[in-house]
Amino acid sequence: MGVAAIKTLRSRITLTILAVSLLTIAPISVFLNVYINRTFENYIMRQERERSDGIVSDLESHYDALSGGWEEDFLHTLGMYSLYDGYILSVSDARGDVLWDAENHDMTQCSRIMMEISARMSTLKGGFETHDYAIEAGGRRVGGVSVTYYGPFFYTENDYRFIKTLNIATLAIGLLSAAVAVFAGSLLARRIAKPVTRTAAIAAQIARGNFNERFDDAPSTRELRDMTAAVNRLAASLAEQENLRKRLTSDMAHELRTPLAAVASHLEAMIDGIWEASPDRLSACHDEILRIAALVKDLRELAKIDGDKRVPNKSEVDIFDVARTVCHNFEAEAAKKNLTLSLAGEASVVPADKDGIIRVITNLISNAIKYTPENGRISVTAGDSKDAGVVEVLDDGIGIAEEELPFIFERFYRTDKSRNRKTGGAGVGLTIAKSIVEAHGGAIEVHSETGAGSRFVVKLPKG
């Protein structure tokens, strides 16, 4: 089994167009050529017969019955004119005696003209042939004429030039059309092949891990434009994924290093006997480890959400109901700080993943509790608004500085205030909330002012 030869797209398209044009243009020009030649030959043959008939009728009309013959001058003129046109005449009287004969009259002229015609007609089969005609006057035979010419047809100098020009013209038209077709085909092939080749090169770069190559100029053909746009999108999204992966890895390492190092140094001090392993110290280490465990849990969740942007189990969820449950769960924690946690609103049903929504509201209320000093107020509202379900978590806590607002949804971001307070988590709670809300096609907004409190608004589309 042979392996099919691999050809470039360009040569394949060009060859195909060449083959198609040859298959169509060549038969058309050949047919045209043959048809023109045939028609012209028929026309010439008809003309030759008419010429012979003309000679006979000329002779008949110039017959002088009185003298019983023709004027010498007439015969000479007719004979010589005919000879120049390629017709060799021999006129005889009723008895068969030759009165005028071209060959006898001017042998050299005669053979020169015959040779010329033979040379002109050399590519066609044929030869000189003689036709005898009777000349009649008054109903009786008064003589005869034999007309010799090149048969089955011959071209005069002008005929020859005409048909030759026509033949060259048809051939030239054929060649020119084929050349134009091939030229246009090769241009087209180039336009198609160029972006395809570039796509292959970019794909190869992507495979090697270089996601920075892009198509700069979009092709004007729709399919090619779609293809190059898709490759650009692919490269961009891979670059983004790669960035995310790198950032996540380094952020994670950074976040885990500090608490792990703290626990390790505390434990070391206790093992070495520098510190007494008091229940207080052990409990502090335990707390730190619990924090690390919570962080690892958050990170796992974050990785899961990042990996799959779709909402897995959508069902009809009443967000007011969810908010009530979550508020209930936080009652004890709020009471510890003497915070007023209130809930208002009405039922609002949206298609959503219930666990995800519980997670979002939990993170928001948990933040509100964390970042609101004792005796503060937290109010949660849930309900309908136009074509969305809305949950609002409002607190009168420490608030967020304006310059920090754009970053709080980024992973591992914590405002300076929350860092100093040593409260709070790793800074992924809002990142997770935002990812979940966006996976539902919704949006999360924040309005906040340092010292005045914060308001988080979550909108979840109904359809």
Binding-site ranges for ligand ADP (CB under 6 A): 363, 367-368, 371, 395, 397-400, 408, 413-415, 418, 424-431, 454
Question: What distance in Å separates the CA atoms of residue 152 and residue 208, rounded to the nearest whole number?
Answer: 78
Question: With respect to ligand ADP, which residue has the nearer C-beta, 203 or 405?
Answer: 405
CB 374 within 8 A of CB 423: no
Question: With respect to ligand ADP, which residue has the nearer C-beta, 35 or 407?
Answer: 407
- Report the nearest approach of ligand ADP to the CB of residue 202 (Å): 37
Question: With respect to ligand ADP, which residue has the nearer C-beta, 228 or 431?
Answer: 431
User: Mapping DSSP to helix (H, G, I), strand (E, B) and coil, where does residue 141 land?
Assistant: strand
Rg, Å, the chain Cα set: 53
Question: What distance in Å separates the CA atoms of residue 45 and residue 151, rounded to the nearest whole number?
Answer: 9
What secondary structure does DSSP assign to 91-126, as a single string? EEETT--EEEEHHHH-HHHHHHHHHHHHHHTTTS--
Question: With respect to ligand ADP, which residue has the nearer C-beta, 174 or 453?
Answer: 453
- Report the nearest approach of ligand ADP to the CB of residue 328 (Å): 20
CB 70 within 8 A of CB 63: yes
- Report the nearest approach of ligand ADP to the CB of residue 395 (Å): 5
Phi, psi of 257 (to 5 degrees): -60, -50
Question: What distance in Å separates the CA atoms of residue 48 and residue 147, rounded to the nearest whole number?
Answer: 10
Question: With respect to ligand ADP, which residue has the nearer C-beta, 22 or 296?
Answer: 296
Question: With respect to ligand ADP, which residue has the nearer C-beta, 14 or 363?
Answer: 363
- Report the nearest approach of ligand ADP to the CB of residue 292 (Å): 14
CA pseudo-torsion sign 97, 99, 100, 104: positive
Instruction: Describe the chain by its helix, strand, coil percentages, rounded to 5.
Output: 60, 20, 25
- Report the nearest approach of ligand ADP to the CB of residue 421 (Å): 9
- Report the nearest approach of ligand ADP to the CB of residue 413 (Å): 6
